[in-house]
Structure 1
Amino acid sequence: METSPSARKINYPLLSDRTQEVSRKYGVLNEKEGFAYRGAFIIDPDGNIQAYLVNPQPVGRNINEILRIIQGLQYNRRTGLGVPANWKPGERGIPVGWNYVGKY
């Protein structure tokens, strides 16, 4: 943010990882090339990683899918139900568990 005029417009917290400690711990650091892959980590209120997506260097993240995952996890916490592929907020969830595999 200190060096980029466009970054100054961002209104959410940013993390600087100049020592590469965080990217190393999260397993997204390409040690040989010295860069971090584009990663998104969804951490629940209890501090547990619920989901992570790591994209190759030339591919950007899909914020719509990241938001859908967060909404699905929140829905699950509220209802106990899972969400099927392509689920969107407002749609019904599905029961979770081995007894339901292949039925939805």
Structure 2
Amino acid sequence: MAAVAAIYPFIKAMDAELLAISTDSVYSHVVFKETSPSLKHVTYPMLSDRNHGISKAYRVLDSSTGASYRASFFINPGQIIKAKLVYAAEVGRNIPEHLRILQGFHHAEQTGQDVPANWVPGQPGISQDPSKIGTI
């Protein structure tokens, strides 16, 4: 969560929002934030999904543990899931990749161009013209 907090200003600068959602209680979020030195810098909202409604709706609930998998969703203003990343418990998120995905969506929105594999900001995008499929 601290790694995400470090990029939160960049997320906000792209007119995006971040929500942390877990099956823990609001109280446990407060205690966790107060006792963990790395979480003192978390300024984005932390939401509780104690009834598992959100985790079930997004299909990330591990019913054997009652906890949700580590997952990240990129949802556009039209409430369409544009990307979904789900991680095994033993593997942490790749935060630079999350930022790159968001930057890719931002680039596509601003330029009308898709971004190819391994694209990084500053590189050109590719045409969204379906007539060019197979010709590039």
TM class by smaller structure: 0.7 to 0.9
Q: What is the match of residue 75 of structure 2?
A: 43
Q: 2: CA distance between counterparts of 1:61 and 1:97? A: 33
Equivalent of 1:92 in 124, 130, 133: 124
How much identity, in percent, do the aligned residues show?
Answer: 42
TM-score (norm 2): 0.69
Q: What is the match of residue 9 of structure 1?
A: 41
Q: Which amino acid in 2 is paired with 1:11?
A: T
Q: What is the match of residue 10 of structure 2?
A: none
Query: Per residue, is there more helix in 1 or in 2?
Result: 2
Offset, 1:33: 2.4
How many residues in Structure 1 have an aligned counterpart in Structure 2?
A: 104
Query: Runs of 5+ in structure 1 lacking a partner?
Result: none
TM-score (norm 1): 0.88
Helix, strand or coil at the partner of 1:53: strand
Helix, strand or coil at the partner of 2:108: helix
Q: What is the match of residue 24 of structure 1?
A: 56
2:112 counterpart of 1:80 = yes
Q: 2: CA distance between counterparts of 1:42 and 1:8? A: 25
Contact 1:82 1:94 in 2 (8 A): yes
Q: Which amino acid in 2 is paired with 1:24?
A: K
Query: Higher relative contact order at CA 8 Å, sep ≥6: structure 1 or structure 2?
Result: 2
Helix, strand or coil at the partner of 1:3: helix
Q: 2: CA distance between counterparts of 1:53 and 1:97? A: 27
Helix, strand or coil at the partner of 1:90: coil
Aligned-residue Cα RMSD (Å) equals 1.6
Contact 1:29 1:36 in 2 (8 A): yes
Offset, 1:15: 1.5
